[in-house]
């Protein structure tokens, strides 16, 4: 099993990544498959309704750091008022 993990990481596949909507940035993504094996799945954003077979993947740690930074930026804005 560790060989599979090493091989997948060398190919760029991430274990802890999330799909992110390119339109609104939401991580609330639904996979809609018609046949499952023959065609690629279609991903649907539950927030804005965007549909595509390709959604970008973001590392979970990067996403957490970004959300923490946005919270800090918002608190700075509120303090300025």
Could you tell me the pTM of the whole model?
0.59
- Of 37, 2, 43, which Cα lies nearest the Cα of 23? 43
- If phi > 0 it is left, if psi is from -120 to 50 it is alpha, else beta; for residue 22 that is alpha
How would you write the pLDDT of the chain (81 residues) with one tens digit per residue?
A: 555 555 555 555 556 888 999 999 899 999 887 766 677 889 999 999 999 988 999 888 877 777 677 766 555 545 555
Distance CA 63, CA 72 (A): 14
- Give the residue extent of every domain in the chain: 18-80
Identify the DSSP state of 36.
S
Distance CA 39, CA 55 (A): 15
């Amino acid at each position: 099993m560790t060989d599979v993990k090493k091989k997948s990481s060398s190919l760029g596949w991430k274990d802890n990544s999330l799909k992110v909507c390119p339109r609104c940035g939401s991580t609330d993504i639904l996979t809609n498959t018609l046949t499952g094996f023959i065609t690629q799945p279609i991903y649907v954003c539950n927030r804005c309704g965007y549909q595509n077979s390709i959604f970008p993947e973001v590392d979970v740690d990067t996403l957490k750091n970004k959300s923490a930074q946005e919270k800090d930026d918002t608190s700075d804005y509120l303090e300025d008022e």
